[in-house]
């Protein structure tokens, strides 16, 4: 009976470990359309996968730095491989603030998106903090999961 319990515990720990790795968090990275930002990683990158190069482009600056250039409004996936480890990003390309008077600091990382489900349509409204720490709407994008018509 004790061996059976030890075996079940071993199987449970293995399943939890596999599920934990499979459900790794996807990071979000925001870039304004027609702008570029430098993405720095703590580990050296060995391989890159970009899902949709019409939304954003990637240029390698160094083993730990990428230049992300936003081409068109939308969302795409960026996978960075560091040996056997992988980091997943949702690259979210948004419009600039609606008003020219609004100044958003792109390095603040104070972005927030709200997914809106309307029947069979899904959009994402993007907000950022301005220099006065107030929320400013940057625009609405359609996630990559929804095909363009």
Question: For residue 57, what is the domain's CATH number?
Answer: 2.60.40.1080
Which residue positions in the chain have pLDDT lower than 70? 1-24, 97-110, 118, 142-149
Q: Is residue 124 part of a domain?
A: yes
How far apart, in whole angstroms, are the C-alpha atoms of residue 42 and residue 8?
Answer: 38
pLDDT value of position 32:
86
Q: How many domains does the chain fold into?
A: 1
What integer pLDDT is reported at residue 78 of this predicted model?
Answer: 94
Residue 11, SS3 per DSSP:
helix
- Element of type H or E holding 7: helix 2-22
The pLDDT score that the predictor gives to residue 7 is: 53
pLDDT confidence of residue 137:
75
- Rounded to 10 degrees, the C-alpha dihedral 50/51/52/53 comes to 20
Closest CA to 89 of 74, 101, 79: 79
Is 8 within 8 Å of 2 (Cβ atoms)?
A: no
pLDDT at 19: 47
Host domain of residue 70: 2-141
**Is 148 inside any structural domain?**
no
> What's the length of the chain?
149
Assigned domain for 146 exists: no
């Amino acid at each position: 009976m004790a061996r059976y319990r030890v075996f079940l515990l071993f199987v449970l720990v293995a399943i939890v470990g596999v599920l934990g790795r499979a459900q790794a968090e996807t990071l979000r990275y925001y870039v304004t359309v027609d702008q570029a930002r430098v993405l720095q990683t703590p580990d050296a990158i060995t391989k890159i996968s970009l899902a949709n190069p019409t939304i954003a482009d990637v240029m390698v600056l160094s083993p730990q730095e990428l230049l992300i250039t936003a081409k068109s409004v939308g969302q795409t996936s960026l996978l960075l491989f560091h040996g056997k480890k992988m980091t997943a990003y949702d690259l979210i390309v948004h419009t600039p603030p609606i008003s020219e008077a609004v100044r958003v600091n792109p390095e603040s990382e104070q972005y927030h998106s709200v997914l809106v489900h309307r029947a069979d349509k899904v959009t994402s409204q993007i907000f950022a903090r301005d220099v006065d720490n107030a929320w400013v709407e940057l625009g609405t994008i359609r996630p990559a999961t929804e095909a363009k018509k």
